[in-house]
Amino acid sequence: MKFIVLLHNFKRSKMKKIGILVTAIVFLTMSFVSPVKKKLKVDVQNSTIVWKGYKPTGSHTGTINLASGSLVLEGATLIGGSFIVDMATIEDSEDNKRLEGHLRSADFFEIEKYAFSKFEITNSNTNDGKSFITGNMTIKDVTKEISFEGTISESDSTITLISETFQINRADFNVKFKSKTFFNDLKEKYINDEFDMQVTIVAQK
């Protein structure tokens, strides 16, 4: 009888150790599991792109809309995404129709031939709450790498990326009108090659 009790206790002890070992393995395995990757659709109605162009006599500011887009996250970390910009929606904040028509013409973005522009994130990292984002910008079928800083915030239903103001050099994309890169006799009648851009991207969970 004593032997049976000892055997029973031995089995219980062994099973307990096995249980502890299984639990440890489960926790160890979970610690190596990658965060879930998810692709979120951009809410184009609530996302904004603001631009500002300069010339010696002043500046113009306006907006342009996204046609579509997505953000790719791994856990809470932004790892990718892409955005399609509808170039026909470019507008001036003062409703200057002449300027809007000129920006859409062959002098600038030639929207009849190049209806959309695109930005695709290739790298993103976060440091001290700031996100540093690099990607490929395509305008008029020319692709260049650009980088900008921003912040990413999260609510119950959305992920929002807000960039700081950054600059794009239009000459890199063959936007030549009154550009000192292409013409050396403009004197003070030039338009700056660099223009400002600020984006707010809202994606639905």
Which residue matches tokens 């700031």? Answer: 130
What's domain 37-204's superfamily in CATH? Lipid/polyisoprenoid-binding, YceI-like (2.40.128.110)
Higher pLDDT, 189 or 37: 189
Q: What is the mean pLDDT of residues 110-119?
A: 98
For the chain, report the end-to-end CA distance as a whole number of angstroms.
Answer: 64
Task: Give 142's pLDDT tier (boundaries 50, 70, 90).
Answer: very high
- 154 has a pLDDT exceeding 60: yes
- pLDDT, residue 179, reads 98
Total residue length of the chain: 205
Q: What is the mean pLDDT of residues 45-62?
A: 97
Return the pLDDT at 14. 54
Query: Is 20 a residue whose pLDDT tops 70?
Result: no
Confidence of residue 69 (pLDDT cuts 50, 70, 90): very high
130 vs 75: CA distance, rounded Å? 17
Please give the pLDDT value at position 3.
Answer: 45
The pLDDT of residue 5: 43
Q: Which region among 1-10, 35-44, 61-70 has the lowest average model confidence (pLDDT)?
A: 1-10
SS (H, E, C) 135-184: EEEEECCEEEEEEEEEEEEECCCEEEEEECCEEEEHHHHCCCCCCCCCCC
Backbone Cα Rg of the chain: 27
What's the token pair of residue 123?
């790298």
Say if residues 173 and 144 touch (Cβ distance below 8 Å).
yes
Beta strands in the chain (DSSP E): 37-41, 48-55, 58-74, 77-92, 116-127, 130-139, 142-154, 158-163, 166-169, 194-204
Residue 16 amino acid letter: K
Instruction: Kindly report the average pLDDT of the chain as a whole number.
Output: 89
Closest CA to 79 of 117, 49, 47, 36: 36
Enumerate the domain spans of the chain. Answer: 1-33, 37-204
In this predicted structure, what is the pLDDT of residue 83?
97
DSSP state of 193: S
pLDDT digits (tens, 9 = 90+) for 76-102: 889 999 999 999 999 999 999 999 999
pLDDT tops 80 at residue 164: yes
Confidence tier at 15 by pLDDT (50, 70, 90) = low
- Kindly state the average pLDDT of the residues 56-77: 95
CA dist 45 and 198 (Å) reads 16
Sign of CA dihedral 102, 104, 108, 110: negative
